[in-house]
Amino acid sequence: MLKRPFLIGCGLIAISVITACGSSSVTSLPQATPTPGSSVATATLSSTSSSTVTLPAAGSITGSITFPPGTGTVTASTSTTAPSGAVALTSISRKAASSRRTAQDVATGTPIDYITVSSNGGASLTAAPSFTITDPTLPAGTPYLAQYVSGAWTVVSAAGTTSGDTVTVTGNTESITVPADGSIYFAIFIATATSSPSPAASASAAASPSPSPSPSLKPSPSPSPSPSPSPSPSPSPSPSPSPSPSPTPTNVIIDGKFATEGAAGAFATSATTGWVKCSWDPHPNGSASPLPASSASPTATLISASSAGFTVGYASPSPYPTVSPRPNTGDTYAALAYTGTGADTTFSGTSGKGANGICQTFTVPQNAVLTMNVNEGGYESSIAYGDQEAYLFMGGASALTAESSPIQLFSELNTQSYSQTPADVGNWTERGPYTLTGTNGLGLTAGQTVTLFIGTYDNGPSTHYGEYILIDDVSVLGIPLPAGTAKARPPMKVRSFK
């Protein structure tokens, strides 16, 4: 058994957005210059309850902000353009909480409102604020909340809700500090996954009628009246063709809520028809030599609200508290991947070294955006020994035995004994949105075949250590390509570990 030191506190992991201590500190920025004619909303924070105030209108956009419990007095102003202390929102990112290189969690979208929160004497919030915004020209898509941190816009909410022309977004649970005589900046943006509509065809020009020739008159000895020419009928104009409708984004992931496989009590038989248990090797984390995918016995299972409880690792001599696995709210089933003796004794299979999880192979659609919900925990002393993770491999499931540079979506460690984001331990939280294609995406091309791996890694599971991840609501939204247009893997499109 590999003996591991027990680390307490935040550790020395560098995290770009959500710190290991469970709070984010914002560097003092200059006060934003209000739009001429605009006003501010003022709130004196309560340490025991939330405070909701009406935001000043930004053009035709109105709404309110709800501050969580906190201390101090704050003001809020709005604008449809970026405030002077921030740049315009064109891309959004959240890096995984890991000291190793990660692929960015990125998305693109349309900002609809910028909010500047300021304080003369400084203020502390126990979480990010929440917003309800009404925009008569609201674009279609999913609303999110972003915060301007360290020179970049960062997602700080799960997907919001839309009702008519009103959106509601709820900030995450990480504490925030508003510096004295400084400001922090938020933006409500709409993430979209649609293709451009076909251009409307121009109407055919109406044909110009040809003039009728003047009739010739036959001379007559006696005068006769000139005949009147018959008018030529005007041609009917050609009807204007209707524009082609925009395709509707489709989730290309099969059984993303595990409803079909959960009801059957078994994973699919092929990664192209659903989810399968899988492992991969070589792994970039640590110096272990895990079993190759072809010979490993990955430990993953399907769970429901009635599934038995389990532990993953324990603090000798007493077992660690039992975890009761539950699907995400509103769902019946979810998937569980784990390493550690406690779960091995509850579910079938014995976990070995390396990555244990589930895989699915899919064809990348146009404008692809990937999201998922996860619930993480376990008993581990450092990310040097294990993690919860998700990767994309180029090609089918066989790529897991040969791929040396998969695209990392996230690699993190959130357990009851060591956590990079404590608020995520034992709670369902969203990972994503990850934009897979386009200029700000992860380098994939529509039509590529890729395999998604989600699971845990451990370089030496024992009776003392292990980690688990519950998985639900996996989605890759986009516009599927027509049949027969799949593309091979292009060169130099993957991220290598350096």
The count of other CB atoms within 10 Å of the CB of residue 199 is: 8
- Residue 454 tokens read as 């989600």
Pairing of strands 175-178, 23-24: parallel
Question: Given this model, what pLDDT does residue 230 score?
Answer: 62
Can you tell me whether residue 339 is helix, strand or coil? strand
Say which residue the tokens 């930004």 belong to.
58
Closest-CA residue to 172 (of 189, 159, 184, 161):
159
Can you tell me whether residue 279 is helix, strand or coil? coil
- Residue 3 tokens read as 């003996």
Question: Given this model, what pLDDT does residue 471 score?
Answer: 97
What's the pLDDT tens digit per position in 353-394? 778 899 999 999 999 999 999 999 888 888 888 899 999 998
Question: Given this model, what pLDDT does residue 25 score?
Answer: 39
Q: What is the mean pLDDT of residues 208-215?
A: 48
Indicate the DSSP class of residue 397. G
Sort 83 into a burial class: Cβ within 10 Å, 0-12 / 13-18 / 19+: buried
Q: What is the mean pLDDT of residues 40-55?
A: 93
How far apart CA 328 and CA 257 sit, in angstroms, is 9
Q: What is the pTM of this model?
A: 0.52
What's the pLDDT tens digit per position in 109-147? 789 999 999 999 999 999 999 999 999 999 988 999 989
pLDDT more than 90, % of the chain: 40
DSSP string, 9-64: SSTT---SSS-TTSEE-----PPPPPPTT---EEEEPPSSS-EEEEEEEETTEEEE
- Residue 171 tokens read as 């900030």
Q: What is the mean pLDDT of residues 11-18?
A: 32
Answer with the residue of higher pLDDT: 447 or 322. 447
What's the pLDDT tens digit per position in 73-103? 999 999 999 998 888 887 665 433 332 223 3
Is the preceding peptide bond at 317 cis, omega within 30 degrees of 0? Answer: yes
